[in-house]
Each structure stands twice: as structure tokens, then as C-alpha cells.
């Protein structure tokens, strides 16, 4: 989001995954906020910067799947020293 100059609000990312494929994990490296993940418009779950090793299983059928991620800016990461 920082590269786009957007430090608040939402950004929508979309891609199409061709199929068929075995279920695959969705994990977003470098996610600095919270991402709401959808497969063909159906909620899959939430990925969060506070749980960087979590992933969601994405089933991909014969027709493929449209993968949407709606990222909500959670503000800057604050570290206490």
C-alpha cells in the first residue's frame, strides 16, 4: 500500500488461478495489514500481519477460481523499545 501512496482505506487485488489444481495454500508474504480473502466471491478467511505464517486452503476446480484479496490498512507497525 505504501508503494501506491495509500496509508489508509482499502485496496482490492484480483487474480485468476487456472485449474484444475489440488487445493493450494494462500499465503501473502510481506502482508503489512489485514487481508480478507475470497474465492469466486465466497469468503475464505482473513490473513493478518500478526500471524505471518498462517495460510488458507484454496480449492481450484476445473474452471479455475477468481481470487480476491481486500486489504485494509491497519496503520503503522509500532515497536516499543
pLDDT confidence of residue 60: 94
Contacts of 18 by beta carbon, 8 Å cutoff, 6+ apart = 60, 64
Q: What is the pLDDT of residues 19-45, one digit of tens each?
A: 999 988 999 888 878 999 999 999 999
CATH assignment at residue 20? 2.60.120.260
Q: Is residue 21 part of a domain?
A: yes
Q: Is residue 29 part of a domain?
A: yes
pLDDT confidence of residue 30: 83
- 56 is in which domain, residue-wise? 2-72
Q: Is residue 57 part of a domain?
A: yes
Strand spans (E) along the chain: 10-17, 21-26, 34-39, 42-48, 56-60, 65-72
pTM for the whole structure: 0.82
The Cα–Cα gap between 32 and 7 comes to 11
Report the domain count for the chain. Answer: 1
Report the chain's mean pLDDT, rounded to a whole number.
87
Amino acid at each position: 500500500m505504501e508503494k501506491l501512496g495509500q496509508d489508509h482505506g482499502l485496496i482490492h487485488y484480483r487474480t485468476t488461478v487456472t485449474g484444475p489444481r489440488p487445493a493450494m495454500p494462500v499465503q501473502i508474504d510481506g502482508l503489512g495489514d489485514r487481508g480478507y480473502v475470497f474465492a469466486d466471491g465466497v469468503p475464505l478467511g482473513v490473513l493478518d500481519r500478526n500471524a505471518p505464517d498462517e495460510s488458507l486452503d484454496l480449492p481450484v476446480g476445473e474452471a479455475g477460481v477468481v481470487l480476491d484479496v481486500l486489504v485494509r490498512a491497519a496503520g503503522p507497525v509500532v515497536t516499543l523499545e
